[in-house]
Amino acid sequence: DLVDELSSGVVLRPLAKRLTITKCPLPVETPPFNQLLRDIQCRRYTLRKVQ
């Protein structure tokens, strides 16, 4: 039960705190090269080694 967990010491974080913690910023109007660079930095894509 939620009330029992709260009374035993479980602390809930405010929703605003959880939403502000993000790995990558929200996309903004940027050139395609910068979008690709951001995707690589945020590890949305992985690069393969070229032979």
pLDDT per residue as tens digits for the range 1-51? 667 766 777 666 666 655 555 566 666 677 888 887 888 788 776 667 887
pTM metric for this prediction? 0.34
11-50 in b/e burial notation, b at 16+ Cβ within 10 A?
eeeeeeeeeeeeeeeeeeeeeeeeeeeeeeeeeeeeeeee
